[in-house]
Structure 1
Amino acid sequence: MKKRIFLIALGLTVSAGCPLANVQNNEPADSEVHAKVKQARVHAKALGGALKSRLKQAMQSGGLEAGVQECQLAAEPITESLSQNGWEVGRTALKVRNPNNAPDEWEREQLALFASLLERTKLKGKQPPTPMDTYKYDSNSGEFRYMMAIQQGQVCMACHGVQVAPSVEETILKYYPKDEATGFELGELRGAFTLTYSPQ
């Protein structure tokens, strides 16, 4: 009983736009796995879009401090609303703001690979693949796991960058006293959407 592990756009052997393939033994991914990848990408983008929308609304009405508060209030209900029909949806990172989002062993390994790929493409003056994602599928249990990288964007710099305003930092520590998620440079790996599908 073996697990089939697939990687998308993590190694130099796989580039954006190539057919999904089992990188370990070059077997093509089956249609069920293709479908799960598509579903996972939709869920990940839905989570990112919902969080971004709520954050923008809060910042427009109350500034960065309100944005931090809104993240603390809205993130969990949004992830719970998307975690249905066998899917569990969330975010993780090597440096987390919320300790509940700390990565497990597999997630940590994938985050390290994402970070390495971003660094390699930067050194070569190239753009990383889009989306930068990875997954694994256990054909015995039917469990499917998926991650999509999140790069540090300009909009994230005020709350996650190297220079965070004192008032914003104070608000962050009020809601996230164990915060680790600052000091990021533009384009670095901020974290990843992480999803698990378990057959019901």
Structure 2
Amino acid sequence: MKYIVNCELYSTSYLADWEKGTDLIVVSFFFWSPGMALQKSCTGLLRSLLYQIATQWPALADLVVSPTGRSKDAIDGSRSWNPLTTWTDQGLMSLLNRFLDEKPANISLCAFVDGLDEFVGDEDYLLHMIGLLNNSSRCKICVSSRPEQAFRQEFRLCPQLRVQDLNREDIERTAAGKLSTEPAEPQCPAYTRR
């Protein structure tokens, strides 16, 4: 996933066919279970995605400060706008919903979310959020995970790529080389032994 996200030339050339001249916003998030709470929670995912969207599409700030954006659900413990107030997950989700509903037709969004299996929290809520992005117009999402039951079930009808099927031979060679009692010979395609 990191390769796909970081190889902009490669991924944007494929996305160009899909987005057809709209302004493309690309966002990503990598769950990490040994990390701090924000690195493995919906709160961290929502904050990160909204921040990335706002840096690429500053008009998101208009949704935050508009009168309809100041609902009592959006802000935790406060009835008035305060930029230092902690937002609830419900408020962050509400803002993401508003962005997806109200974004102009010339905006396309592509989200990459890695490590769903490292998420800590309510899997149904996470899957709801992914579904929200997936079902929005002019929006694509690419997720990755180990084959956990909840994710296998949820994404069973989606196009899938199993990396272990593509690099099985490399894994077997590496494992055999590590487990072998004999020293391995260097494997270099440019080197030919005579």
TM-score by length of 2: 0.26
Larger radius of gyration: 2
Q: Greater strand percent: which structure?
A: 1
